[in-house]
Amino acid sequence: MQLTIIAAIIISKRKFFELRSEFSHHLEIYTDGSKNGIRTAAAVVAPNSVKTVRLPDNASIFTAKIHALDMALDIIRHERSKDCVVFSNSLSSLQAVESCKVENPLILKILKDHNQLINSGKSITFCWIPCHVGIWGKGDADITAKAGLDVAISNIRFPVSNLLICVNQLCVKKWQQLWNQCTSNKLYSVQPDIDFSVSSSMGRYDSVLINHLRIGHTRLTNSYLLKGESQPVCEACRSPLTVKHILVDCTCYSAARQRYFGVNTLKDVFENVASRNIIAYVKDISFYNRI
Ligand SMILES: [Zn+2]
């Protein structure tokens, strides 16, 4: 199947109008999609037809822009014009169609509809016009798509992968609700918010070290349990050695702590202190390679 897609390097309105003049005898159709929160809409604008549909909630903006292309084909089917050009500001949508990603049911439908129209004698060119060219934003398709966010939802099928983000958010929400009931768990005071990830810019050793400190279990402070030995004591003040003692309580290390963070609870250490400062502190007090 041959698709005609133009992804010209168009850097100005003047260039756009030059390109447009090449299609002066074509039926011009503009497509766009819009998303606001969970609402998504697609729109298509042709000389004699303006259409918008609101997709089911949580559909992606990519799905909206793909669906807008199919709406354009639907208009072409009902128009007398033989030669048509479809303008889109979504390069990813056009590339997905061009590469025949048929695992997406919307793209499969576009390919089928396009093939049917080509076989009926239509000539269809898809053309990408980047947003920065300036014909979008004030254009009818953009405004129509935004207006579509407030109409009734249409019964349109879309890839289940679009729902992964909201499924993930729901799981995190449920997980947080369960965790909020575990206030007697000692880790709750360290990390009441479960939606946390260690900075990916940290090295492997530092990431593991921060996680061990966060859960309060380190080789230095807890290996005595496995070995059947007595609990180790702080070399500086002879108090029982725990992560909380190292990071918050030990007065002998308070001067060193002040150089890296000035908080007094484990919760504050892990919520409000940069991981690199915690690492720098344990290096300063010579615990880095022992924890
Ligand atoms: Zn101490």
Q: How far is the CA of 253 from the centre of ligand 1 (A)?
A: 7
pLDDT at 149 over 50: yes
Q: How far is the CA of 211 from the centre of ligand 1 (A)?
A: 22
Q: Residue 156 half-sphere exposure, CB side, CA atoms within 13 Å?
A: 28
- Contact status, residue 31 vs residue 44, Cβ threshold 8 Å: yes
pLDDT at 7 over 70: no
Q: How far is the CA of 229 from the centre of ligand 1 (A)?
A: 19
Which residues on adjacent β-strands are paired with residue 45? 30, 50
Burial class (CB in 10 A: 0-12, 13-18, 19+), 61: buried
- Contact status, residue 136 vs residue 90, Cβ threshold 8 Å: no
Q: How far is the CA of 245 from the centre of ligand 1 (A)?
A: 6
The pLDDT tens digits of the residues spanning 179-215 come to: 999 988 877 877 788 776 656 678 899 999 998 998 8
Q: How far is the CA of 241 from the centre of ligand 1 (A)?
A: 7
Mean pLDDT value of segment 21-45: 91
- pLDDT value at residue 138: 46
The pLDDT tens digits of the residues spanning 62-112 come to: 999 999 999 999 999 999 999 999 999 898 999 999 888 888 889 999 999
Q: How far is the CA of 285 from the centre of ligand 1 (A)?
A: 11
- What global pTM score does this model have? 0.65
Q: How far is the CA of 233 from the centre of ligand 1 (A)?
A: 8
Q: How far is the CA of 246 from the centre of ligand 1 (A)?
A: 7
Closest Cα partner for 25 from 6, 47, 42? 47
Structure tokens at 257: 């702590």
Which residues on adjacent β-strands are paired with residue 126? 5, 86
Mean pLDDT value of segment 121-144: 76
pLDDT at 20 over 50: yes
Q: How far is the CA of 119 from the centre of ligand 1 (A)?
A: 82
Q: How far is the CA of 266 from the centre of ligand 1 (A)?
A: 16
| Sequence-separated (6 or more) residues with CB below 8 Å from residue 53 | 41, 42, 43, 67, 71, 148, 151, 154, 156
4-164: CATH, from 3.30.310.10, 1.10.3210.10, 3.30.420.10, 3.30.700.30: 3.30.420.10
In the predicted model, what is the mean pLDDT of the chain? 87
User: Rounded to whole angstroms, how far apart are CA atoms 39 and 32?
Assistant: 14
Q: How far is the CA of 232 from the centre of ligand 1 (A)?
A: 11
Structure tokens at 28: 């011009």
- pLDDT value at residue 197: 62
Q: How far is the CA of 238 from the centre of ligand 1 (A)?
A: 6
Q: How far is the CA of 190 from the centre of ligand 1 (A)?
A: 20
Structure tokens at 52: 């918008």
CATH 3.30.420.10 domain position(s) in the chain: 4-164
